[in-house]
Structure 1
Amino acid sequence: MTDRIPDAVIANPTSRYGDAKASTRHFITQRLTGAINIVFVGFLAFIVLRLAGQDRPDMVATIGNAWVGLPLAALLLVVTIHMRNGMRDTLEDYFHGAAYQRYMMLNTAFCILIAVAGVAAILKLVFWG
């Protein structure tokens, strides 16, 4: 843990460490994706309630509709961005240096995998049924 910033540097308000622009971008992205998620979760709840008790062909037809599938794909993208940023906050609290870099790389790879697989599945239903 040689990469750890000493507490005296953190406690000094005149010291500078980290990238201020990246932190601001992270803050804005987290708040913006959170707000978008609130709107989209209402849409998702509507779709889930509408599909409750339906059989598979009805579900495929509903999600395959472009007016439903494309916003659902956008929701999945926004949720994975929000998830990556939220996990970044947790990783920053518990890991430093090379360990943080490795875990952040795994976090990013996992979020990309989830986003690509989910969006591909939804777009397959929308464009190819």
Structure 2
Amino acid sequence: MREPVITPSTIADPKTKYGNAKSSTRHFFTQRLTGAINILFTAFLIYIVISIAGEGREGVVSLLGNPVIGIVFAILFAIVCVHMRIGMREIIEDYVHEQRTNRLSLSLNSFFAIAVGVVGVLSVLKLVFWG
């Protein structure tokens, strides 16, 4: 089956259904919001990296074991994974054109982002609550 040819005039014509407007708008705002939050958390992340530089395991566990720092770090980890998933989704949608490969790539992207997020957040929470 041949895919339709997409030209700039096809995209500009409001009568053609090219993409999902609600989904695209949500992804756009979510990407910008998580990017802004990541910028705000950068100072916190720099503080963590400087604080644990040269420390042994005990120093890292004591710093990340602090509930305030650990919870904020876990939230940062989750937000970074959401941002990563949406960014990679945009790249896949732009450069992978075959429908079957596109769906597989998008599924693997979601799985990878969720897996990294869950492992990261659970690791930080384990340090916070169980040392």
Change (3 A) 1:59 1:98: same
The RMSD of aligned alpha carbons is 1.6
Moved more, 88-97 or 22-31: 88-97
Which 5+ residue runs of structure 1 have no aligned equivalent? none
Distance of 2:35 and 2:6 partners within structure 1: 32
| Counterpart residue number, 1:6 | 6
Shift of the 69–4 alpha-carbon distance from structure 1 to 2, 3 Å rule, reads farther
Q: Which segments of structure 1 move beyond 4 Å, counting only runs of 4 or more?
A: none
Q: TM-score, normalised by structure 1?
A: 0.92
1:51 alignment counterpart: 52
1:64-83 paired onto structure 2 within 5 Å: 64-83=65-84
Deviations 1:70-100, CA, capped at 9 Å, x for gaps: 0100001000000001101110111132211
Deviation at 1:63, TM superposition (A): 0.5
Residue aligning to 1:29: 30
Aligned length: 129
Deviation at residue 11 of structure 1 after TM alignment: 4.7
TM-score of the pair, normalised by structure 2: 0.91
Q: Percent identity?
A: 48
Shift of 1:6: 2.3
Of structures 1 and 2, the one with the larger relative CO (CA 8 A, separation 6+) is: 1
Gapped regions of structure 2 (runs ≥ 5): none
